[in-house]
């Protein structure tokens, strides 16, 4: 990837990742009291969303870089059902960069509250996965100590590896596990 391509990335950072919640207080408790993300904004709205007037509340929980995890709760249960993404069976998730100390602190908080989670060593990172009260999978990922070397290889080979995959060669390229 050329430096010209890198300079033209169309966004600076994640602003927020939004998800529909059934109960914002339950969501607040999980993200603020258990995981430790501060609630920094609550917007109460009546707005036309996808062609229909809807009443909702939109909350934001801050990450260190100023981005946020955001959650909607609709007053009309039909709006909730229409807007909710059921991710229990999917790979949908939000991945948050962390470090080993903070990942361990999250694991300790989850253990303290009796909340199940799993940790996977992917080779290029180690991830802790937890599912929130509405079924959103949240990943806390700690990059490998070899991150810069791994990142450089991936940037140099991303297009050729995708071309190989699309052409039918589905052999793994993760030799780090």
Could you report the per-residue pLDDT of 110-161, keeping only the tens digit for each? 999 999 999 999 888 899 999 999 888 899 999 999 989 988 888 898 889 9
* Percent of the chain residues past pLDDT 90, beyond the cut: 51
| CB count in 10 Å sphere of residue 57 | 15
At 34, list the tokens: 């258990």
| 50-54: long-range pairs with CB below 8 Å, 24+ | 50/82, 52/79, 54/79
**What was the pLDDT predicted at 10?**
64
**What was the pLDDT predicted at 86?**
64
- pTM, two decimals, is 0.79
- Is 166 domain-assigned? no
**What was the pLDDT predicted at 9?**
74
Model confidence at 87: pLDDT above 70? no
In this structure, are residues 17 and 174 in contact, taking their beta carbons and an 8 Å threshold?
no
- Is 176 domain-assigned? no
- Is 25 domain-assigned? yes
Query: Of residues 4 and 101, which shows the higher confidence score?
Result: 101
- Is 69 domain-assigned? yes
Helix and strand numbers, DSSP H then E, in the chain: 5, 8
CATH number, domain with residue 110 = 3.10.180.10
**What was the pLDDT predicted at 108?**
96
**What was the pLDDT predicted at 2?**
46
- pLDDT band of residue 39 (cuts 50, 70, 90) is very high
* CA distances (Å), origin 18, targets 15, 35, 110: 10, 17, 22
**What was the pLDDT predicted at 48?**
87
Residue 45 structural domain: 3-144
E strand or H helix at 117: strand 117-121
**What was the pLDDT predicted at 111?**
97
- Is 157 domain-assigned? no
- Is 165 domain-assigned? no
Number of structural domains, the chain?
Answer: 1
- Is 71 domain-assigned? yes
**What was the pLDDT predicted at 109?**
95
Mean per-residue pLDDT of the chain: 87
- Is 154 domain-assigned? no
């Amino acid at each position: 990837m050329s430096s010209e391509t890198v300079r033209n990335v169309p966004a600076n950072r994640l602003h927020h990742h939004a998800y529909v919640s059934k109960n914002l207080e339950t969501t607040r408790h999980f993200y603020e009291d258990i995981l430790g993300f501060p609630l920094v904004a609550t917007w109460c709205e009546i707005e036309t969303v996808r062609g229909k007037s809807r009443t909702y509340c939109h909350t934001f929980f801050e990450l260190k870089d100023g981005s946020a995890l955001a959650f909607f709760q609709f007053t009309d249960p039909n709006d909730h059902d229409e807007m909710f993404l059921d991710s229990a069976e999917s790979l949908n998730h939000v991945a948050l960069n962390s470090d080993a100390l903070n990942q361990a602190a999250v694991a300790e908080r989850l253990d303290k509250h009796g909340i199940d989670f799993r940790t996977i060593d992917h080779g290029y990172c180690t991830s802790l996965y937890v599912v929130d009260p509405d079924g959103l999978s949240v990943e806390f990922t700690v990059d490998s100590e070899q991150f810069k070397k791994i990142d450089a290889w991936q940037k140099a080979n991303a297009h050729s590896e995708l071309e190989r995959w699309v052409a039918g060669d589905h052999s793994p390229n993760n030799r780090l596990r």
